[in-house]
Structure 1
């Protein structure tokens, strides 16, 4: 890969920026795929690393990347990418993540071609799961592709007033952009830096440029391998964060759960967990495996600072669930049970689950995602309505980081 001078804009080349931290073997695979691209013009690769201790830096330097080192404590999804932009030398800039592996030797040419053909501010591509991905990871990746569609799509805001009439889902689809793999026009990145948000900096950027009259494009012909086999606790936190921060960025509520309390969240969580063995067909071996391995979900109240109060809330919540009295979340609970059942059936119909352990793992993760969305949407609704109390804030706060 040719080293370019970031002080001299190269009109023929393309810059690729990858933030890294212990990228491992998948990052090496990504570098090899980038190096093997059939691309006319130089490729300017910039790796911005926040403290790798494995072979990440050596691998980057072997392929001719320029490496910028920053302390781990200062990494920030938006600020770090804005910093890295200063080191790029080309007018078109690709942002990727370290575990996204380009598919095919024409990946980079297709990405640039889509940007030039559409005249968009940015173009993002399709993701397929890694060959080693587990059932849940494959299912979520396939679901994302169904959501995005099989054709190139242009996202634009016909007129600013139209946004105010959109619901959450329509606004979410409009502002979709993904730094797993996306190419940008550098002049617009300089004019509109990534907003200083802790999560979904790509969505926040898309929203501001759409309001400025620009367009975003999705092209499924541009493909990278990217998926994660995360534990249920991470999936839970990821959905909490997604609900809270995407709601803030969009300025819209996906669900108005402002009527729910901490007590309701605890009661719903334990009710969902108690239903999982029914979804598995009441398999006693599975129930035994669950007990041997501990709780399926993160301890949803372990971080609450007032343990005695939390125990009281838990007991009260379970009593109300059994009696059906005084519990404002009964209707919400029925909807979540139906959602878990629907997703669980979808996973089983889409692929084989050859072992009991794989089936249980997939079901656990489905439930963790559904509950995480509940927590995030509840927090977002309380914040938006101006009724966020100290108990709910303290209860949810531990899950608002670490993704």
Structure 2
């Protein structure tokens, strides 16, 4: 009747409505495709040579039911061999300057370059734990059950103990499809192109661009979901100042998303004491070494100190401050 991808999508929709062929058109694409669906995997990188090859090998090993992946790298100035690895694995590489970088802007750049109807977002230091990661992450979109999905994250053996506890809290063993609320995390997520076309990522936020888009999506009637089976190992190799800055920039962004949240010094002290006590109790049950004590105290101190500082930052960021928040020192 017509060649695939050779007819205007509106004409195909009209034929589909009139003939009622017994199958649904796939998603809401710009070009209708009655065959396989393409997923564009977008990776933000800055000096990710340590884990990028493992990530790309993990992507290459995925087993899917008709999902065809392409890989797009958005790099913000790597100098450690990241780009050579990406070229070796056939990634499409795009560059964003340090002056222009924000998390949202780099993702929008990758999404604009993408051909897929599903946009898969993954950090350059996350590695899939299995061969069905991609299928499971995309499945709620294919089923029409959700528009924006995030998968499970677990720490590595080298992760800070408190960070592994945070992962366990926010990324549990059981899926929620769909879920209530708008929590989401772009270290391991998938978004329908239709949803991104309507909402796009905020390019001015210092972090939490995932939650901000999800909030607008949910308010417009869209759905988010959590898929525990789409799991990755999230490798963080941060100094204490980097941990503090990460929570600080996320707290700055949270002011726009949830302006009702206020953190005072009493809250900081209370949260530190409570979190340290609970971490220590958990560590003892698991037989963790005594060396975990100072690591736990240091992590929670920097987490909540950064959150407090970010919650009280009300000025527009200068160029120097953007450098501090977005790039490691």
TM-score by length of 2: 0.78
Question: Which residue in 2 is equivalent to 1:57?
Answer: 83
**1:2-401 to 2 correspondences below 5 Å:** 12-39=37-64, 40-146=66-172, 150-156=174-180, 174-196=181-203, 197-255=205-263, 257=264, 335-336=270-271, 338-349=273-284, 351-356=286-291, 358-377=292-311, 379=312, 401=325
- Contact preservation (8 Å) 1:123, 1:217: yes
Kindly state the Cα deviation for residue 9 of structure 1 after the two structures are TM-superposed: 7.3
Kindly state the Cα deviation for residue 8 of structure 1 after the two structures are TM-superposed: 6.8
Kindly state the Cα deviation for residue 30 of structure 1 after the two structures are TM-superposed: 0.2
Bigger share in strand = 2
CA distance in 1, matches of 2:234, 2:83: 21
CA distance in 1, matches of 2:87, 2:322: 37
Report the aligned-residue RMSD: 2.9
Structure 1 residues 336 and 205: CA distance shift in structure 2, 3 A: closer
Structure 1 residues 102 and 125: CA distance shift in structure 2, 3 A: same
Structure 1 residues 192 and 334: CA distance shift in structure 2, 3 A: closer
- Contact preservation (8 Å) 2:41, 2:119: yes
- Contact preservation (8 Å) 1:137, 1:229: no
CA distance in 2, matches of 1:398, 1:8: 38
Kindly state the Cα deviation for residue 243 of structure 1 after the two structures are TM-superposed: 2.6
CA distance in 1, matches of 2:259, 2:268: 26
- Contact preservation (8 Å) 1:135, 1:347: no
Question: Greater CA radius of gyration, 1 or 2?
Answer: 1
Structure 1 residues 152 and 350: CA distance shift in structure 2, 3 A: farther
Structure 1 residues 246 and 37: CA distance shift in structure 2, 3 A: same
- Contact preservation (8 Å) 2:154, 2:233: yes
Q: Deviations over 1:118-138 (max 9, x none)?
A: 531111110011233243332
- Contact preservation (8 Å) 1:9, 1:91: no
Bigger share in helix = 1
- Contact preservation (8 Å) 1:139, 1:350: no
CA distance in 2, matches of 1:333, 1:75: 30
TM-score by length of 1: 0.65
What SS class does the counterpart of residue 37 from structure 1 fall into? Answer: coil
Question: Which residue in 1 is equivalent to 2:22?
Answer: none
Figure out how many residues of one structure are paired with residues of the other and give that number. 291
Q: Deviations over 1:146-189 (max 9, x none)?
A: 5xx62324235xxxxxxxxxxxxxxxxx2201101111110221
Structure 1 residues 13 and 337: CA distance shift in structure 2, 3 A: closer
What SS class does the counterpart of residue 225 from structure 2 fall into? Answer: strand
CA distance in 2, matches of 1:194, 1:398: 18
